[in-house]
Homo-oligomer: A and B are copies of this chain.
């Protein structure tokens, strides 16, 4: 049945190609051509009405020269929110070439959270230049936002929200909203209730306000669960909270429980994307936002990971060098030894990926870690025995040497068990030590599987065949 559903889902995927989200490639190529031909009028005409996400995609997909030209040509016709859709690297590339006044004119049209996000990317000196050109209120909000650590709720929150006293009725609330409509945030999802000290009391869903009679006291509509986000909470934790509680927005409070901002689900969706991207890239040895980095920056950031990998590869080579004499006598060992190491590496990576993911989603914690490790070792044992039988047979048929077949089979079982055990244990230990398990666990794992793989296979062969 599982296959059946995969098939169906693939069909849906194929059908969906016609309903593609985002820009058509032909459009991007047309703009690229117009930019090369310096046709500013036509570029403005085609791009003026682009929604922010589409303008962001266009900027991302153009090369660096055309990107600058586009931003220059559109200037203030570009939706300022476009900049919220750009990765750090592209943003830096663009901002470097723009005047402080131009950047400030963009920032002035952003909500405080987007403004902080943009300004946080600049170095100290440019920050100062731009701050001077900002509206007074926005400047205060940005300055305050920058005091919270990167990646905290304080950086992410919006400072525009609707808060009312708890003794109001629905009728009074609606009248108030109608009266002050022009000063309200463009969109809001909840009304917050505060006490006279501006401490958070509860949140009311707008649908509940709309469906209630005018005479109803507003605080009777407060939802059951009292959920607040401390201003210092890490954004990953906040994202977890949102998806567990199906929240649309959550009040952000300071250490005195005063309501100071609101986190909204659209920002959380971005956080979820960013965290997923980070884990996905890190486990493959790449830093975030790598695709948009310059050639030199990319070569530089990947070098570090490859250098660590080189060290583990050399460690494995040293293990092999212990058995150089054996290999000189039985060269076929060199033919077969990468198989044992490779199978261990792959089996270990499977376990590692499952463990890293489960740690991120809280499906794995000390409550069940022993059970997970135990399961991984048993799975490794089962697959190890199966592959030992297969590989033993293959080697027997290939080299007509039953002893060699048994040796590679035994080494396979040993390395797969080592892989299952360390693939589960390493990320659990790293998490408990406060490290990001996605980032560095693979190195430790492949070191283990390479060394155990080569040592068990070559060691058994030296012992039994020489």
Contact = CB atoms under 8 A, between A and B. Distances in A.
Contacts of A244: 21-22, 51, 53-54, 85
Contacts of A390: 307, 310
22 contacts: A9-B150, A12-B150, A12-B233, A16-B232, A19-B233, A21-B244, A21-B362, A28-B365, A53-B244, A53-B245, A57-B362, A189-B207, A248-B265, A272-B273, A280-B280, A303-B386, A306-B347, A312-B342, A317-B336, A327-B327, A327-B331, A331-B331
A280 to B, nearest CB: 5
A254 interface: no
A310 to B, nearest CB: 6
A363 B454 CA distance: 41
Contacts of A205: 187
A177 interface: yes
B295 A375 contact: yes
A13 interface: yes
A312 to B, nearest CB: 8
Interface string A225-240: 1000010111111001
Contacts of A25: 365-367
A225 B378 contact: no
Copies in the complex: 2
Contact of A280 (B12, B283, B324): B283
Interface in A250-302: 265-266, 268-270, 272-273, 276-277, 279-281, 283-286, 290-292, 295-296, 298-299, 302
Contacts of A341: 338
Given A299-B379, A353-B286, A291 B364 contact: yes
A99 to B, nearest CB: 21
Contact of A174 (B61, B184, B210, B283): B210
A96 to B, nearest CB: 14
Give the interface residue-count category, chain A. 35 or more
Given A21-B240, A313-B342, A346-B306, A151 B12 contact: yes
Interface in A433-453: 434, 446, 450
Contact of A269 (B272, B279, B346, B391): B272
Given A290-B350, A302-B379, A325-B331, 12 more contacts: A9-B149, A9-B150, A15-B232, A285-B353, A290-B354, A291-B354, A298-B375, A302-B347, A306-B347, A314-B339, A320-B338, A324-B334
Contacts of A307: 387, 390
A313 B272 CA distance: 36
Interface in A10-66: 10-16, 19-22, 25, 28-29, 32, 51, 53-54, 57, 60-61, 63
Contacts of A29: 367
B350 A394 contact: no
A260 B234 CA distance: 39
B317 A15 contact: no
